Amino acid sequence: MLGKRGTRLEKGWTLYRYSAIIMENAAIRVVMLPGKGMDIVECLYKPRDVDVTAATPWGFTEDEIGTFLDRYEGGFQIVFPNGGPPSDYRGAWLGQHDEVALGRWQWQDHEDEAGVSVTATTMLKKTPFRYQRKVQLNAQEAVLHLEDTVTNLSPFEQEVMWGQHLAFGPPFLSPSCRFASGAQEVLVVEESLTSRRFKPGRYAWPYVERAEGGLWDLRQVPAKDGRHDMAYLVNFLEGWYTLENPQLGVGIRVEWDTEAWPCCWVWQECGADGYPWYGRHYSLGLEPFHGYPTQGLSNAIRNGSTLKIKGGCAITGYMRLALYEVNDD
């Protein structure tokens, strides 16, 4: 049963060797893994029994050694301070999407009149940062509130990439989905990707040029057609997007602080060949981010898109995930 305030937090669970936390109310259930990067591996809209998160073909792995992709189960991750492939930073070798997403977190729970919350913290090893996340779930609303704070523990200014790796998958994700955003422009850059859909360039939202000619409307969610690609939404009037599946009657609205995350990566993984998918995976990543493209921290430093954090200073970003009913009209 739910608690007196209409919310519940369950702890002491283990999911494939990782400690797990369950937060829920009458409308939403969220499962997080403080034993693995504070990943959100379930975000379930209970009235429709629909989980919006992606899941990889192999699911969870019990291996505690490996790269981000080796251990990637799907869901939502935090990317900090490197976004993309391995990169050197001031003598530290950072792996793909290293290093917050693979760390263990300490956490405490709290209950008040509004609902339940968790405050989790991890200390990075390769770079001089403390990362804290507060997750709040209130009664009577299908909304998850996230407050992330990064603190530079060194006396020197540091440059980072910082992102929220939100990946959506079936059954919620399908070509019937509708995508909208507050972006004004779309950037497509040269990437080491095969089977690309988009032609590099800078475009007015929502259209980009197709590699084979013509235009592609980014509001359209592609089918599983053997392709994959990346695009970057920039120049947001306000930080938000929606993704709706009218056939299932479920939508999600993500809102965020554009000072923390001024752009949004669009990752289309639609059954392309090659490691680690080999044609088996279908997902859409819509990822609020600071820094681009997905070519590593050293490249983002060269193009000037990183977040700079002064010595001894902290920066906080806010994000809100809201699930809601969608009419099939």
The pLDDT score that the predictor gives to residue 329 is 67
| DSSP bridge partners of 32 | 21, 40
**How far are the Cα atoms of 72, 227, 238 from residue 193, in angstroms, in the given order?**
19, 9, 30
Q: Provide the token pair at 86.
A: 């391995």
Bridge-partner residues for 94, per DSSP? Answer: 87
Nearest alpha carbon to residue 185 among 199, 206, 209, 212: 206
Q: Which CATH architecture has domain 7-325?
A: Distorted Sandwich (2.70)
- Provide the pLDDT for residue 60: 79
Run of H or E residues at 33: strand 28-33
pLDDT for the residue numbered 314: 98
pTM above 0.85, yes or no: yes
| Strand ranges (E), 153-222 | 158-160, 162-168, 178-188, 201-204, 207-209, 215-217
Angle at 51 between CA 48 and CA 52, to 5 degrees: 110
Look at strands 282-290 and 263-270 and give their pairing: antiparallel
**Domains of the chain by residue range:** 7-325
CA 87 to mean position of chain CA atoms: 20
How far apart (Å, rounded) are the C-alpha atoms in residues 228 and 232? 14
Output the pLDDT for position 2. 60
Where do the H-state alpha helices sit in the chain? 297-303
For 291, which DSSP code? S
The pLDDT tens digits of the residues spanning 256-288 come to 999 999 999 999 999 999 999 999 999 999 999
Return the residue matching tokens 């000037």. Answer: 304
**Both tokens of residue 191?**
């990437």
Listed in sequence order, the DSSP H helices in 203-307 are 297-303
- How high is the pLDDT of residue 3? 55
Q: So what's the pLDDT on residue 5?
A: 65
Start-to-end C-alpha separation, the chain: 35
Per-residue HEC secondary structure of 103-115 comes to CCCEEEEEECCCE
- The DSSP element (H or E) to which 136 belongs, if any, is strand 129-138
Helices then strands, counting H and E runs in the chain, come out as 1, 24
Q: Nearest to residue 291, comparing CAs of 81, 72, 76, 67? A: 81
Amino acid at 307: L
Q: 88-137, pLDDT tens digit by residue?
A: 999 999 988 999 998 899 999 999 888 999 999 999 999 999 999 999 99
What six digits make up the tokens of 230?
């990346």
- Averaged over successive runs of 10 residues, the pLDDT of the chain (329 residues) comes to 74 86 96 95 97 91 75 92 94 92 93 92 97 96 97 98 98 97 96 83 97 94 94 97 98 98 97 92 97 96 97 98 90
pLDDT score at 195: 75
Distance CA 94, CA 107 (A): 25
What is d(CA 205, CA 52) in angstroms, rounded to the nearest whole number? Answer: 25
Taking the C-alpha atoms of residue 170 and residue 120, their distance in angstroms, rounded to an integer, is 29
Contacts of residue 118, defined as CB under 8 A and 6 or more positions apart, other chains included, come to: 9, 21, 23, 32, 107, 108, 109, 110, 134, 135
